[in-house]
Structure 1
Amino acid sequence: MFQAFIDSEEEHVARQKAKTPPTTQQRLAAMIKRARDIMRTDPGLNGDLDRIPQLAWLLFLKAFDDLEEQRAIEYEGDGDYEPILPEKCRWKAWADDPRLTGDKLIEFVNETLLPTLRELPARSEERGLPDVLRDVFSGVENKMRSGYQLRELLNTLAQVHFTSADDIHTMAYLYESILREVRDAAGDSGEFYTPRPVIRFIVQQIDPKVGETVLDPACGTGGFLVETLEHVRPTAKSVHDRNRLELAVRGIEKKSQPYLLAVMNLLLHEVEVPGVTLGNALSLLQGDKSPSSQVDVVMTNPPFGGEESKEVISAFPEKYRTKETAWLFLTAVLDKLKPGGRCGMVVPNGVLFADDGTPRRIKERLLTECDLHTIVRLPDGVFAPYTDIPTNLLFFEKGRPTSEVWFYEIPPPEGRKKYTKMRPIAFEAFADCIAWWGGPKREGRVENDRAWKVPAAEIAERGYNLDLRNPNVPDDLAHRSPEELIKELIATEEEILSLLHDLQNGLEAGQ
């Protein structure tokens, strides 16, 4: 999408036609700060959970209009380019019109712009940009009440441009800051976003290739999808390979705000038609179990700790039904992978230690249908400030049973007990694990103070409990199951109570 502007001469011509100055990082940051200050004075916006979505969808429309302008320049003289958006919804037609302000502006946005975007007609039988945009704006609302404040905001955002490679890189800086703000705000809503170093590590170890289909069924703002594109694109040797890659990278997101950001994220990373679907992944995946719908790679951090509706749960086989979303996602992933398919997945400790009923049956299926070759145990605080629940990374391949499971324990930061929001995990924390991994074939692995292996038969004897402590280091409470800790605490309390009774009896006998 942006490729035509990489060449310096073409970029110069485009700038002359668009008459847009380059946007420096400092200038961009100042404009966004100004935009947020404006939004703080509007009575309809209450905190970042309102302001950030408002800013995001307006920036989305500005970015998309600039992309339309670029396409018009590319096709200039051909006469066959038809803009995706109706003329009245183009940014330049309404947002750049200073006469449209006050109540008339609010009326236009609420009664014309957003309804039109929600009902964009499809142009072909194949899913295209109109379908993506229609989904994006199906959940968008304008929460600003003052048309004068909105006009001031539009005038500020009009200074943000997406007309060159340099501007795209500058916008990436802003976009990362927006995602961080969204993550901070959404943490209060129970949504946990995956740190980029964790995403990068999973993608690097799974190592997706050109020609493989890649799915994140809980894609959030598109972190795994973008990292996959950046990982695979250097190996794409032709335009055909790049097109195959973009079509093969797919995501599903349940909530409209992360979905909008995921689409914008992919558009900014040169994907012509983002392959992200808005909907409940568990319903969509269970609704189509055909072999043709299976994928080569799944990389995901599904929501955990939540509950699904009875309607969604009832779509699963009875023996795998549970309210816990993490278990449902694991079951759905097992169905969705092709034979030989690979998965890297974030799971909470609860998925490892639960050893009865449905959880046991799901883990038994995992170890008998797949080679669960590696579990990476993450230190505390990786997902701070959203949760302190210990988390793990599962790596498995479908098509052969597990013979043994390797565990690798990532240590906490040196001199500290855990990671924090202000001092988060870095990719370098995975360096020793990557060196130990053994390459694509996982050759030459050895046990050490961070790595150990357990035969699958022993795991089965334990009731498929995968919450196994590192035998090479002193007892670590961080990754022990609540059941185990509670039993030990009760035993300790009972012992103390028994000693107190003995002491009381002795005192009474001596009176």
Structure 2
Amino acid sequence: MDEEKLWNALGPLQNSKLHISDYIEEVSRILFLKAVSESNRVTFDKTPEGVGGAVHLEEGYRWGDIVGAESSQKKLEKYKGAIERLSDDGELAKDFFEGYSTKFDKASTFKKLTENLEEMHLDQHNDDFGDAYEFLLEKYADKAEGAGEYFTPREIIRAMVEFSEPQVDESLLDPASGTGGFLIHTYNYLADKTDNFKDVEEVPVEGHFRAQEIVTSTHELGGMNMLLHGMDASAVDRKDRDGNLSRDSLEMFRRDRYEETYDYIIANPPYGGDNEVEPIDPKCTSTIEINFLVLIMRLLSKNGRASVVIPDGILFNQSFSSVREELLNYFDIDCILALPEGAFTPYAGVTANVIFFERNNEGTDEFWYYDARSDFDEVTKEENPLDYNKHLREFVEYKDQRENHDKYFKVDADKVDEGNYELHLKKYKEFKYEGHRPPAEIAQDIKGELDTIRTELDQMIGETSD
């Protein structure tokens, strides 16, 4: 898939007055029409209610009919007709077309765009449609202010999935699914590693997945991303016990206490900024990232595993020491991957890690670090972008030979200070850092300390009153 050619094909939209978020939504639906028309997912019969995996779109409103219409206006009218019909189809399309209306204000813009996309050869067997959409989501995260919060660099996702080696029969949760990257890469990993992976105990692989995303537009982008990667997004459980779309993982936990647990949880939860929440546990402050980490700990099944992106502060902030103590005593921490400085550039400025752990009441005897930070220059968008082969490939390749790689090192759990239970890389390795932490990250750490002081003062006042 030629990314430059695809970006150039979107020239008519880039020159229009549409915001990038609007034309990403438009292109996703246009790509969907092109993709299903070139696959076996289009049926001639109405898709039965409750059945996913297929799309009914009557002749006259398919991709070939749209691009073959004789005038710009008729092309646009057929596209609008396709949206109207798909919004009333089975679950596969209905969730993503129902209530949607095109934002094209000029038929000529639509005509030029469809002609450009028709000239592109996108092979569904090579996952070109999914790759094209991932590329557009990356552009969206890069260019739209705040959009990067919902986008995890695909190099990091790949490393997390391949290191964790998910199994085809494991139940999987992403409690902050964003644009669906973790689910899609897990699905593709299982497809590569498993014979006849489509059928496991007569349940589609996607039927073992659950996804939640609080932002409606991002939720829709993620669903469309799954569709364009050949997944049956309707099989992914995105509803609560009452059949409503479940958006907010933390609120759902408070309300339902989540009767389900999961064998494998993978996530890049939201963090920092103004994302204050009501704590879900006495161990938590109002900081959203610690609430998500505790949520994930609570939702793991017996021997369930987790791979979670966390900011540096979670590993050393005094406010979170009781959570780290619980991780060490009731979970088995396998490895902490210290990501390069700037790993989320240009999407976010946080310094981050990935922690891999599993539920184990015997606790942690020893754990490993992989230092992908100290010996690398800070990641930048242009001059030094994040690169899987350069920064993360050996982390995965040496998983089972850690003692043979100088970036891996082991720490005995009894070496951890029982006062603060600090787990930050610099506590256990000489660490040279010539840059400056982002002001927002420093402010978040200060806020965490203030939350702790405020809590302790409230307790003292309560004791005095008694």
> Structure 2 length as normaliser, TM-score?
0.76
CA distance in 1, matches of 2:394, 2:379: 18
Distance 1:475 1:170, change over 3 A: closer
Q: Is the 8 A contact 2:66 2:79 kept in 1?
A: no
CA distance in 1, matches of 2:315, 2:92: 37
Matching residue of 1:326? 289
Matching residue of 1:227? 185
Matching residue of 2:155? 197
The one-letter code matched in structure 2 to 1:283 is E
Distance 1:100 1:289, change over 3 A: farther
Unaligned runs of 5+ in 1: 1-24, 76-80, 122-129, 487-511
The one-letter code matched in structure 2 to 1:38 is P
The one-letter code matched in structure 2 to 1:353 is F
Matching residue of 1:49? 21
Matching residue of 1:254? 214
CA distance in 1, matches of 2:146, 2:39: 34
Alpha-carbon shift at residue 131 of structure 1 (Å): 3.1
Q: Structure 2 residue aligned with 1:95, among 41, 66, 74?
A: 66
1:299 and 2:266 aligned: yes
Higher percent of residues as helix: 1
Matching residue of 1:501? none
Matching residue of 2:306? 343
CA distance in 2, matches of 1:183, 1:371: 34
Distance 1:474 1:204, change over 3 A: closer
Encode CA deviations 1:80-110: one digit per residue, 9 max, x unaligned.
x99744648943597347367549957983x
Distance 1:141 1:217, change over 3 A: farther
Q: Is the 8 A contact 2:32 2:228 kept in 1?
A: no
CA distance in 1, matches of 2:257, 2:250: 12
1:184 and 2:142 aligned: yes
1:171 and 2:129 aligned: yes
Matching residue of 1:437? 399
Q: Is the 8 A contact 1:406 1:453 kept in 2?
A: yes
1:60 and 2:32 aligned: yes
SS of the aligned residue for 2:315 comes to helix
1:213 and 2:181 aligned: no
CA distance in 2, matches of 1:137, 1:221: 17
Q: Structure 1 residue aligned with 2:331, among 357, 360, 370?
A: 370
Distance 1:479 1:225, change over 3 A: farther
Distance 1:276 1:191, change over 3 A: farther
Q: Is the 8 A contact 1:103 1:146 kept in 2?
A: no
SS of the aligned residue for 2:149 comes to coil
Give the count of matched residue pairs. Answer: 425
Encode CA deviations 1:136-177: one digit per residue, 9 max, x unaligned.
235745322223323443444455576x655x4443553343
Identity value in percent: 24
Q: Structure 1 residue aligned with 2:13, among 39, 55, 63?
A: 39
Matching residue of 2:226? 266
Q: Is the 8 A contact 1:95 1:155 kept in 2?
A: no
CA distance in 2, matches of 1:89, 1:459: 69
SS of the aligned residue for 2:341 comes to coil
Q: Is the 8 A contact 1:208 1:228 kept in 2?
A: yes
SS of the aligned residue for 1:95 comes to helix
The one-letter code matched in structure 1 to 2:8 is K
* Segment drifting more, 267-276 vs 472-481: 472-481
Alpha-carbon shift at residue 347 of structure 1 (Å): 0.7
Matching residue of 2:449? none
Encode CA deviations 1:50-91: one digit per residue, 9 max, x unaligned.
332222222223323444665569x9xxxxx99744648943
Alpha-carbon shift at residue 184 of structure 1 (Å): 1.1
CA distance in 1, matches of 2:406, 2:153: 27
The one-letter code matched in structure 2 to 1:368 is N
CA distance in 1, matches of 2:161, 2:41: 34
CA distance in 2, matches of 1:207, 1:267: 23
Q: Is the 8 A contact 1:378 1:411 kept in 2?
A: yes
Distance 1:469 1:255, change over 3 A: same
* Segment drifting more, 93-102 vs 258-267: 93-102
* Segment drifting more, 335-344 vs 130-139: 130-139
Aligned residues: CA RMSD: 4.0
Q: Structure 1 residue aligned with 2:371, among 409, 434, 441?
A: 409
Larger radius of gyration between Structure 1 and Structure 2: 1
Q: Is the 8 A contact 2:341 2:373 kept in 1?
A: no
SS of the aligned residue for 1:373 comes to strand
1:353 and 2:316 aligned: yes
Alpha-carbon shift at residue 335 of structure 1 (Å): 1.8
Alpha-carbon shift at residue 326 of structure 1 (Å): 1.2
> Structure 1 length as normaliser, TM-score?
0.70
The one-letter code matched in structure 1 to 2:386 is I
Matching residue of 2:388? 427
Q: Is the 8 A contact 2:96 2:224 kept in 1?
A: no
Alpha-carbon shift at residue 450 of structure 1 (Å): 5.4
Alpha-carbon shift at residue 398 of structure 1 (Å): 0.8
Distance 1:404 1:57, change over 3 A: same
Q: Is the 8 A contact 2:53 2:92 kept in 1?
A: no
Distance 1:195 1:412, change over 3 A: farther
Distance 1:101 1:427, change over 3 A: closer
CA distance in 2, matches of 1:206, 1:251: 18
CA distance in 2, matches of 1:450, 1:237: 33
CA distance in 2, matches of 1:104, 1:426: 41
Unaligned runs of 5+ in 2: 239-244, 447-466
The one-letter code matched in structure 2 to 1:262 is G
